[in-house]
Amino acid sequence: MSDPIFGRKISNDRNLEIILINDFNSVDIRKLAIYDALILDYTDRDGCSRFVRQCRNSMIGTIYLMPIFILSINHEIDKVMEAMSDGVVSSVQIEAIISRIDRIRLRQDQLVSVDSSSPDIRILTKAMRFMFTRETRLTPVVDHKSHIGYNFPVISDHYDQTNLKEMFQLFETATEKEYFRSRFVDKLHVCSSCYSSFLNFRETCPKCESADLVTENLIHHFVCAYVGPEHDFLSGDYLVCPKCNRMLRHIGVDYDKPSLIYNCKNCSHVFQEPVMEAFCFVCKKNNSIDSLIDVPIYSYELTPIGEETAQNGPSRDVAEDVSIPGFITATTFNIFLKYEIERAKTSKESAAGSLVIRLSPRTRENMGSNYNRMMLEIADFVKNATLSTDILSLVNSNTFLFISPETNRERLDGLINQIKGSVIKLLESSLPGIDIEISVQTVTIDGSLPQNDVLTQLIGSGR
Ligand SMILES: [Zn+2]
Ligand SMILES: [Zn+2]
Ligand SMILES: [Zn+2]
């Protein structure tokens, strides 16, 4: 690979295949997978931006996860572009980015190939993998070109601008399943028909709906209690009360301006309470304020379950988990766990546990569809080995979670370790030489640990 097909190879003492590209028209992104990283010259700003988008919008892991750096001397990079890249460099002295490339590549090697025909699962997997390999949050970037005013780098482009509802539903599902943990960023009011936040808020006449209004102060004369529009008081440069003829001197002392009155220039109606509406510049709908949709904007980080799922893939259907008899969905499990933590505060303690099955990406790929069959067999085994009161869930493609109500941790720990031993024996007899790693964690639920910490102990500490 000494001659890159396009661009110029940047030599480095690690012998990584890093190329600098400045002519974006000649590049076929399908041929990029052989490189370790790309450096893109931002001189052709539009070409560069289009190219970054093309890579990140690909659904092929080796393309969308490619380490991409932008070369710009003055660092004036579009914020969305910057967020989609892995950083901005001002020269091709690349020692500084080598460790970053190594780190991304190392994390990338931990990913198991995931096949799914569901667009939701593919986009969610992509989001999680981008976050996992970059060790970063999914953070919305302010972007006036986006329909809602925010861009979720690497993800937003997969959604039709007028149907961003689907994107938010995906984030919500991922949060419910405890793949994502959210942090509040902003709250939007968007158009009820097209989800745009490009709105004009305006006062209109309650009679004829015209926005052609003039406003005037209302004046309240304390001494005689007269209240009237300001123009009734105007007398040359002075304000004189039309009722008692006294001159008004100091606002707050002898008079004040309690509110505004509106005058409709279209129908001459005079009123105090205009009707607020929000005109949408995109679909031209006049929204009443009440009909606007509130959309909270969050940034997201991967939870321990999310990290595990990023590597091994979500359960087969995001919207509705495959139901295995005796197992509850991840969402339901999390509800149970919350409930159990609350209950244990005032009552007998319980135990929760995890059994995480890890195969090397290569082994798992070699197994193909046998992997799912194996997991179903293990699930069956788990069900038969546990009590009917135990709550079981397969939260992603390789993680079993348990809650044993009103039992101590030792019993559950013994039980799961026993399952682990049997599963290993079972697998070694049917698949000799398989390199499998099974980790078991258990924790006491006594109400002292919040749900996030319980899950971190069950899944996060095993690594
Ligand atoms: Zn009017
Ligand atoms: Zn007066
Ligand atoms: Zn609209």
Domain count, the chain: 3
**Domain enclosing residue 330, as ranges:** 321-462
Q: How far is the CA of 256 from the centre of ligand 3 (A)?
A: 41
Q: If DSSP codes are grouped into helix, strand and coil, which group holds residue 270?
A: strand
Specify the CATH number for the domain of residue 1: 3.40.50
Query: Is residue 167 in a domain?
Result: no
Query: Is residue 244 in a domain?
Result: yes
- Whether residue 117 is predicted with pLDDT greater than 80 in this model: the reply is no
What pLDDT is attached to residue 4?
A: 55
- Residue 422 contacts residue 380 (beta carbons within 8 Å): no
Query: Is residue 132 in a domain?
Result: no
Q: Which of 109, 127, 142 is the last residue of a domain?
A: 109
441 and 330 co-located in one domain: yes
Q: pLDDT (tens digit, 9 = 90+) per residue, 224-282?
A: 999 999 999 999 889 999 999 999 999 999 999 999 999 999 999 999 999 999 999 99
Query: Is residue 121 in a domain?
Result: no
- Six token digits for residue 89: 């460099």
Q: Which of 77, 109, 141 is the last residue of a domain?
A: 109
Query: Is residue 284 in a domain?
Result: no
What pLDDT is attached to residue 322?
A: 56
- Six token digits for residue 260: 């505004």
What ipTM does this complex have?
0.86
- Residue 393 contacts residue 400 (beta carbons within 8 Å): yes
Query: Is residue 168 in a domain?
Result: no
Q: CB-based contacts of 346: which residues, under 8 Å, 6+ apart?
A: 447
- Six token digits for residue 123: 């986009």
Q: pLDDT (tens digit, 9 = 90+) per residue, 314-331?
A: 765 443 445 678 888 888
- Residue 416 contacts residue 440 (beta carbons within 8 Å): yes
C-alpha–C-alpha distance, residues 383 and 55, integer Å: 44
Ligand nearest to the CA of 243: 2
- Residue 359 contacts residue 367 (beta carbons within 8 Å): yes
| Residue 296 backbone zone (phi > 0: left; psi -120 to 50: alpha; other: beta) | beta
Q: Which residues surround ligand 2, an ion (CB under 5 A)?
A: 221, 224, 226, 241, 243-244
Cα–Cα–Cα angle for 87, 91, 94, rounded to 5 degrees: 70
Query: Is residue 263 in a domain?
Result: yes
Ligand nearest to the CA of 211: 1
Q: pLDDT (tens digit, 9 = 90+) per residue, 28-50?
A: 888 888 899 999 999 999 999 99
pLDDT-derived band at 55 (thresholds 50, 70, 90) equals: very high
Query: Is residue 372 in a domain?
Result: yes
Q: pLDDT (tens digit, 9 = 90+) per residue, 85-108?
A: 999 998 887 888 999 999 999 999
Q: Over the chain, what is the mean pLDDT?
A: 89
Q: How far is the CA of 274 from the centre of ligand 3 (A)?
A: 22
Q: pLDDT (tens digit, 9 = 90+) per residue, 6-28?
A: 778 888 888 889 999 988 888 88
Q: How far is the CA of 225 from the centre of ligand 2 (A)?
A: 6
Q: How far is the CA of 280 from the centre of ligand 3 (A)?
A: 5
Q: How far is the CA of 235 from the centre of ligand 2 (A)?
A: 14
Taking residues 290-308, report their average pLDDT.
Answer: 94
Q: How far is the CA of 223 from the centre of ligand 2 (A)?
A: 6
Question: Which residue's entry shows tokens 């006594």?
Answer: 446
Percent of the chain with pLDDT over 70: 96
- Tell me the sheet residues that pair with 287: 278
